[in-house]
Structure 1
């Protein structure tokens, strides 16, 4: 039985890594293209809003449908929509330069599809892995995503420089096809739906929300995560601009930073997989936020000639990231029954994503007026304080409790 679920995960991940890798190539290539052609933090923030806002707005209601639908089929359909959107945008770039609004519209559509794919994937994990292995599996999951984040930017900038952004987008279509084919060959058993007196969307939505609120520790961590999202999410868009505008370097240097961040995530995911049972989940999360915060503060004060220092700090940020994401997701998966988990994950995802537009709206004008390094500095201060809060809040609570 143990080997059976491990083999199934290996099969699923081997397919997903192709889609994740090509998506990473597309994500970096689009951000770098906008950075290089516009040099505007505001343009990057609008692109970020197009990518985050649909997931935030649709997430809570989508969770109800995820708990009704076949989760494997939902992943396949949503990944296919993402692939089609890449195909359309790729054709635009192969024929000429589309307007910014076309790019924003495609990013918007991809975000809608992602709002189905991400929570359905996470909600499917407890249907395959034993509960006592969820934190370890979260580390494996982070490892897979991290490996793609290392290769994705480097491959993306290489293909982008040698050909065009259109070619990178077309590769994303191939990645999605491979991932869907592998999913078709794997069986994921569905949880039995709840037996309700009258099955209605409103009733199921309300039950999901009440279930989420019933776990006070999850609510506390989620509120902290929302504040963290306000200051951290814009950094994903600002890393290339930091490389270009502050350090005065080009696309390959920007891809190097992304790759180093991904290498750090691989190291962090590996450490989490090995030492998953040593500390409480909340301890890992607080350590992660303090480490990321300090690295961001130092990134904001280093000189423009200290690019090597920025490389090291990016490595540290990447290594610390899985120590929050993995335990946080495992905490949620342990706390709720599988038949309600889709809704809870959608609520949690939406809370984080609804917070992100606030940060995106603030980061663009701040970076354009005061410099991108200013956002790095003050976001780091906020993240470190959140990490300290989580440690103090859960200090003394036994590992079994959380």
Structure 2
């Protein structure tokens, strides 16, 4: 039984590797296609908004359905929907050149399906892994994502250059089918719903999730800090290809190399996180990650056009810091709440943090067009560093307050 959960994750993660890899290929290929054909930061920002808005709008409500529905079936249905509309866009690209509006609509639909898949998967993890292994599992998950980030852009630009964007989208359909097959071969226990005297209303379930969320003050503080960080950081992945093309004058293969080196950094960071496990507190990992990401952004914001190699190295360092934020953050959420309510909390937190993405994208487009990309990199780095220090100070104060309250209780008992 002790090793069974590892076998389950090996099976699920092997399927997710195919799905995340092909999705990474599609994401990079679409961004590069829009970059090469329009060279417009506004177009890229709209594409980014199309990918985020459904998750922001639906996020607070999706969790209620996730805690009602079978999480395994939800993931399968979401992946199937993504595959179906990837197929539709792929056929369109294969026979012609779809309008930007059609591309935006497909991105909206794919994002809607993803808004169900991601929190369902995260809410299912505590049902399969021991609590003391959640940070380690988060490290494994970051590793899978990192491998995909390395191979995805390289394979994506290779297939895109050799064939067409339509073929890349067809491969995404294949990846989704593999992921669903692996899910069909695994068993995920559905958590028991809360006992209620009558059938609960949607509103009462939503309210219960919100109340559970706000009662965990460390998670509330962490979510606020993450939202601030997201405004600064979320536009960067969309701007990386444009930075490579416009600032350094490099082509698609160089842009994919930047993505690949970022992914290699993430793999190294994820391996280190899985090895360290819970040796440090999760919040310590998160603050270190924020400061590291911020410093690299500041450096990218001041390097010259002749420093492409330095840009690649800094991108790799940024990638190495990323797992120390994402993994511990999700592990803190999974530890803080009961599995029966975790879907609601994760969807709430995800929507709050993702709300920062459209804000950041909306700000980044006009600023980049007027002042250049390096301006956004520099000041987003400053904001990220300040967020890291802010969260460290607040958690330290919170910990000191808890110690004082505990000491006061002991004195009263004496």
Distance, in Å, in 1 between the alignment partners of 2:19 and 2:115 is 16
Aligned to 2:180: 180
Aligned to 1:166: 166
Q: What TM-score results when the alignment is normalised by the length of structure 2?
A: 0.95
Distance 2:257 2:388 in 1: 28
Match of 2:109 in 1: 109
Displacement of 1:397 after TM fit?
6.6
Residues 3-402 of structure 1 mapped to structure 2, 5 A cutoff: 3-198=3-198, 199-395=200-396
Following superposition, the deviation at residue 78 of structure 1 comes to: 0.3
> If you compute each CA radius of gyration, which structure gives the higher value, 1 or 2?
2
Between the aligned partners of 2:182 and 2:132, the Cα distance in structure 1 is 26
**Aligned equivalents of 1:306, 1:117: Cα separation in 2:** 39
**CA offset digits 1:300-357 (Å, max 9, x no partner):** 1000110011011000110000000000000000000000000000001100111111
User: What's the offset of the Cα at 1:396?
Assistant: 7.1
Q: Secondary structure at the match of 1:2?
A: coil
Question: What are structure 2's unaligned runs of at least 5 residues?
Answer: 404-414
User: What is the CA–CA distance in structure 2 between the aligned matches of 1:274 and 1:396, rounded to whole Å?
Assistant: 29
Q: Secondary structure at the match of 1:123?
A: helix
Give deviations 1:216-264, integer Å, cap 9, x for gaps.
0000000000011111110011000000000110000100000011111
1:265-294 CA distance string (max 9 Å, x none):
101111110112211100000000000000
SS of 1:349's equivalent in the other structure is helix
The separation in 1 between residues aligned to 2:366 and 2:90, in whole angstroms, is 30
Mapped to 1, the partners of 2:72 and 2:337 lie a distance apart of 20
- 2:375 and 2:95 map into 1 onto residues whose CA distance is 39
CA distance in 2 between partners of 1:280 and 1:197 (Å): 40
Q: How far is the alpha carbon of 1:394 from its aligned partner?
A: 2.0
* Counterpart-to-counterpart distance in 1, 2:20 and 2:2: 26
CA distance in 1 between partners of 2:324 and 2:182 (Å):
29
In structure 1, runs of 5+ residues without a counterpart are none
User: C-alpha displacement at 1:398, in angstroms?
Assistant: 6.5
Q: How many residues align?
A: 401
Q: Runs in 1 of length 4+ with deviation above 3 angstroms?
A: 396-399
Task: Supply the RMSD in Å over aligned alpha carbons.
Answer: 1.3
